[in-house]
Amino acid sequence: MYKKILIIFLIFLISGCSKEKPKTKTVIEYDDDVKIAINYPITNIRKVDNYISNYIDNVYNEFKNNNDEIKSKELNISYSYDLIDNYISITLTSFISVNTEAHPTNEVYTIVYDKNKNKVLTLGNLINDNLLKSEIPKLKKQLIEKYKSCLILERIDSKINTDLKNYNLFSIDKNNINIFFNPYEITNGSCNIISLTIPFKNNSKIEEVIEIVPNIIDFDLEKPAIALTFDDGPSVYTKKIIKLLKKYDAVGTFFIIGNKAEQYKDTLKLMYEYGNEIGNHSYDHKWLTKLNDDDLSEEINKTQNIIKTITGFTPKLFRPTYGSVNNRLKKDINLDFIMWDIDTRDWEIKDYKKIASKTLSSIKDGDIIIMHDIHERTYKALEIILPKLKKQGFQFVTVSQLKELKDVIN
Ligand code: ZN
């Protein structure tokens, strides 16, 4: 008896223009009280990578060494990346939350690099004095409109003026120069990072429309089935994993981090096209049970939106970061929470053969298995796991398919 799981989505999508993408380095460390998630780009441009690693090292060391008496604390660093003509623009956002303080500390750090000149730019390299002068009244207007509630009015003139030294923090995208001020520079700290814009030359290109039709896979209800799940990607290894799965007629479920989606658009499209399921693992991998309602819904909704925009698919599944759940999270996140039956411990075990043998020794019909597609060893372990399990008659299905299969059986 066959149950045909037929999912066809005919979706028109917007595919972005091709960009050079940096690799993302991900560091996730945690115990019961301290959670650290850091994502940063490796550009292979020595100057830029030095700037980034100095910043990360400083923030990380300060976080580790300070507040020793504090019980529960979190560090999260995420980044955004833009390539506009010969300019690379990187914005690193750090978020530190400690249980002794009411508000988390947010901070932004920026690098704009000119590839032709091999130079890290200041705002003065992009904008001349006259243009800046003409923008000052508009910047003040934006500031007051957007951040009225937290402004320290007497600081405005000393920060928004023609002195370029005030604008160390800026990024560029295809439409704007974005100028940032960290909390407490012009505000009393109840607002987050301040962001103002000056128009930048417009390079928008006509975008191609494509459609993705996911693979249709037949499953045999008589045979055992398991769901392989992958957290914390996409990464440089994800595409290899997707292709390996396909080789064994397998599909998996990828709980992705939203802030990495943009740089791995092609990977996400292929993931979806090959019939894999995409789930939500938050935008920045923050410790979600600690966030306020607004920040929590942003972490979830931004990720839903970016996956929808790239693939046309709207995730239905959610995996909590750090496996940390409470009643509020369950109430506020309107997605199915998916935990796991088997932890491969691929985040801890460095030897891929051990990951494979540990996993193979414990798997049974109906299991959900957690892996992380940010390690090469996970790929190598799968090269062992997939053929062995296939030979034993296992089918590899998505979490939603597994739920459907088991529902039919039960
Ligand atoms: Zn995770």
Domain span(s) for CATH 3.30.565.40 in the chain: 3-121
Q: 231, 232, 346, 367: which is the annotated catalytic residue?
A: 231
Bridge partner residues of 73 (DSSP): 34, 98
Within 115-188, strands assigned E span 119-120, 170-172, 176-181
**Distance from the alpha carbon of residue 6 to the mean position of ligand 1, in angstroms:** 30
- Give me the amino acid identity at 379: Y
Write out the two tokens for 327: 């009643």
Q: 232, 281, 295, 372: which is the annotated catalytic residue?
A: 372
Place domain 3-121 in its CATH homologous superfamily: Fervidobacterium nodosum Rt17-B1 like (3.30.565.40)
The yes-or-no verdict on residue 191 having pLDDT over 90 is no
pLDDT, averaged across the chain: 88
Looking at residue 20, its pLDDT comes to 59
Q: Of 28, 35, 38, whose CA–CA distance to 73 is shortest? A: 35
**Distance from the alpha carbon of residue 320 to the mean position of ligand 1, in angstroms:** 7
Q: What is the dihedral of CA 402, 406, 407, 409, to 10 degrees?
A: 150
The yes-or-no verdict on residue 225 having pLDDT over 70 is yes
**Distance from the alpha carbon of residue 75 to the mean position of ligand 1, in angstroms:** 14
Say if strands 170-172 and 119-120 run parallel, antiparallel, or are unpaired: unpaired
**Distance from the alpha carbon of residue 154 to the mean position of ligand 1, in angstroms:** 43
All residues at 6 or more sequence positions from 331 whose CB lies less than 8 Å from its CB, including other chains: none
Domain span(s) for CATH 3.20.20.370 in the chain: 225-409
In CATH terms, the fold of domain 124-199 is Actin; Chain A, domain 4 (3.90.640)
For the segment 136-140, the average pLDDT, to the nearest whole number, is 92
Active site residue 372: yes
Least confident of 3-7, 64-68, 82-86, 92-96: 3-7
Domain span(s) for CATH 3.90.640 in the chain: 124-199
Question: Taking ligand 1, which is a single-atom ion, which protein residues have CB atoms under 5 Å away?
Answer: 231-232
The domain made up of 225-409 is a member of CATH 3.30.1490.190: no
The yes-or-no verdict on residue 3 having pLDDT over 50 is no
**Distance from the alpha carbon of residue 285 to the mean position of ligand 1, in angstroms:** 6
Q: What is the pLDDT of residues 73-102, one digit of tens each?
A: 999 999 999 998 889 999 999 999 988 777
Q: What is the pLDDT of residues 281-320, one digit of tens each?
A: 999 999 999 999 999 999 999 999 999 999 989 999 999 9
**Distance from the alpha carbon of residue 316 to the mean position of ligand 1, in angstroms:** 17
